[in-house]
Structure 1
Amino acid sequence: MITLNEAEAVEVNLSAVDEGDENRAFQALDSLTGIAADFLSENEEADAERVILSIENGAQAAAEKEMELVTINSILSLGKLARKAADNGFESALGKASIAIGKLGKTAAVHSLEAGSKVAATTLMEIWNFFPEQWDQEKVISFSLLFKEIGTSAARQGMEDVVLSAVTCLGEIGKKVAAKSLELETVSSLLLLEEIGKLAAENYFDEALSSTALSIEDIGKLSVKKGLNDAALQCQWALETLRVQAEEKVLNNSSIVAEVALDNFKDVSYTDSEEKVEKFQVIKTLQKKIQSNMKIQ
């Protein structure tokens, strides 16, 4: 395969996608991935980030044209670059590659590219699992938001399997941060799971709604164990909301799952619900700020 320089690869990538030429798009992607990897090896992080953006732009165009194989290969290439960035200690490049993957997962879901959106979720989770100790509060919430965006976009397109993948990944993040007694991050993950769960109910996704309730229950149990009272309360509120929605939509399985899960939190008490609502609103505001910084619409 002919190796292109950066300028050639960027041009070929976009023109190939515009013309629907997968082979040329793969050639350009291969060249761009190699160029970005070389920049990372040479400690040229800013240059690597520029190429990562070029890969993302081409992949976004491919997803919008429903070129699923190009989208998937781009996601996998970005995953490799994210891991290389992390190995070399380049947090900024790691963040940009990860966000690009999440945004591609959302675009893939919007265009009903089920395999592409699932690969994005899986790749993001692999990155999370490889480097869990590197994530500060903003990065944890960023990853959580990316999974939420994939899940909600998939729900709107009727892709329950993708919703299940997103819920599973978001649930794993929630359990991880709860185990570390990171209450704000835990509440954040619970709020996002509830958001996905509501859409699952609206679309009559009984399995996805059940999975959401189970993830919330697991996070809640850890929250109680760690004394995270706000998180435990949010579990209770979210499960009650989802239980009611499940009953309204006659989703019998998820209704039972949510009701049984609620039994774990019947002893959770609070003295000032208005204060809790205000605290949770602060977290939602933080989520919106981070989402805006990631330039996710």
Structure 2
Amino acid sequence: MITLNEAEAVDAGISSVEERNESRVFQALDSLTGIAEGFISENEEADAARVILSISDIAQAATQEGMELVTISSVLALGKLAKAAAKKGHVMALNRATVATGKLGKVAASNSMEAGSKVAATTLMEIWNFSYPENKDREELFAFSLLLKDIGAAAAGQGMEEALLNAVTCLGEAGKKEAAEKLETETINTLLLLEEIGGLAAEKYFDEALSSVALSIEETGKIALKKGLREAALQSQWALESLKIQAEEKALTNSPIVAEMALESFKFTDIAETSENIEKLHEIKEIQKKVYSGL
């Protein structure tokens, strides 16, 4: 395959999407990926971040045109670049690749591309695992969870329960890791997002997905209890109680039972909201807004 320089690859990628020339899009993205890898290896982080943005723009455009193979290939390339950036300690390039992966997953889900959205969510979780929670600041951790939630929400909107389940699994893993690291604010954020996705699952009558959400919340909450994160454990109980009611209202078969059994792990009786609880939730919502504005 002929390798293009950066300017040629960007132009070819954009024009080839418009022409629906998939092989030419692959060529452009392959060239850009190689160029970004070169910049990362040479510690030219700003240049690498610029090229990653070009990859993201072309891949999103291709996804909107229904080129799912391009979507999957681009996600895998972005994951590869994220790993290379993490090894070099290039935070800007790593974050750019992470956000690009999440956004591409959301676009894929919004266009009913189940495989593409699932690969994106899984790749996000892989990026999480090799870049380690303790090396991320609060806003970066919020970004991971928000990106996963957005993929799940888009999947729910298109009626793709399997893709939603995949996003729930990944988001649940994030919550458990945050709780294990005693990151209470981050854990509560992820629990809130799981509850939000659970509500979407209930609206779509996705019994299996809602059951999976309940189990993820329970597992995260149990770790929070073990680590002494009382507010996070309490949030788990609130979320499960809310989802149990929603599942019952939709007359779902299994999820009301799963949620009820999950609640057995939490025995808080003083569950009324306090000014501290309300202040914490307000703080989390403000961080979410700030993170979204930067994505």
Q: CA deviation at 1:277?
A: 2.5
**What are the residue-to-residue correspondences of 1:282-297 with 2, within 5 Å?**
282-294=283-295
- Compared with structure 1, are the counterparts of its residues 126 and 282 closer, same or farther at alpha carbon in structure 2 (3 Å cutoff)? same
* Contact persistence 2:234–2:268 (CA under 8 A): no
* Contact persistence 1:171–1:215 (CA under 8 A): yes
> Distance in 2 between the 1:242 and 1:40 partners?
45
Secondary structure of the equivalent of 1:251?
coil
> Distance in 2 between the 1:151 and 1:274 partners?
31
Secondary structure of the equivalent of 1:264?
coil
Partner of 1:16: 16
> Distance in 2 between the 1:96 and 1:163 partners?
24
Partner of 1:74: 74
> Distance in 2 between the 1:268 and 1:45 partners?
52
- Compared with structure 1, are the counterparts of its residues 151 and 272 closer, same or farther at alpha carbon in structure 2 (3 Å cutoff)? closer
> Distance in 2 between the 1:213 and 1:138 partners?
25
Give the counterpart letter for 2:110 in structure 1. Answer: V
Structure 1, unpaired ranges of 5+ = none
Partner of 2:267: 266
1:62-105 CA distances to partner (integer Å, 9 max, x unpaired)?
11111111111111111111111111110110000000000000
> Distance in 2 between the 1:156 and 1:170 partners?
17
Give the counterpart letter for 1:176 in structure 2. Answer: K
* Contact persistence 1:217–1:235 (CA under 8 A): yes
Structure 2, unpaired ranges of 5+ = none
1:34-58 CA distances to partner (integer Å, 9 max, x unpaired)?
0111011111111111110100000
Partner of 2:251: 250
Partner of 1:109: 109
> Distance in 2 between the 1:143 and 1:264 partners?
27
Partner of 2:183: 182
* Contact persistence 2:195–2:239 (CA under 8 A): yes
- Compared with structure 1, are the counterparts of its residues 205 and 271 closer, same or farther at alpha carbon in structure 2 (3 Å cutoff)? closer
- Compared with structure 1, are the counterparts of its residues 271 and 251 closer, same or farther at alpha carbon in structure 2 (3 Å cutoff)? closer
Give the counterpart letter for 2:253 in structure 1. Answer: N
Secondary structure of the equivalent of 1:177?
helix
Secondary structure of the equivalent of 2:254?
helix
> Distance in 1 between the 2:49 and 2:150 partners?
23
Give the counterpart letter for 1:24 in structure 2. Answer: R
**What are the residue-to-residue correspondences of 1:1-297 with 2, within 5 Å?**
1-132=1-132, 133-267=134-268, 269-270=270-271, 272-294=273-295
Identity of aligned residues (%): 64
> Distance in 2 between the 1:186 and 1:292 partners?
21
Q: CA deviation at 1:275?
A: 3.4
Q: Which stretch shows the higher mean deviation, 64-73 or 95-104?
A: 64-73
> Distance in 2 between the 1:89 and 1:42 partners?
12
* Contact persistence 1:174–1:189 (CA under 8 A): yes
> Distance in 2 between the 1:253 and 1:3 partners?
54
Q: CA deviation at 1:251?
A: 0.9
Point out 4+ residue stretches in structure 1 off by more than 6 angstroms.
Answer: none
Normalised TM-score (structure 1): 0.97
* Contact persistence 1:216–1:235 (CA under 8 A): yes
Q: Which stretch shows the higher mean deviation, 217-226 or 194-203?
A: 217-226
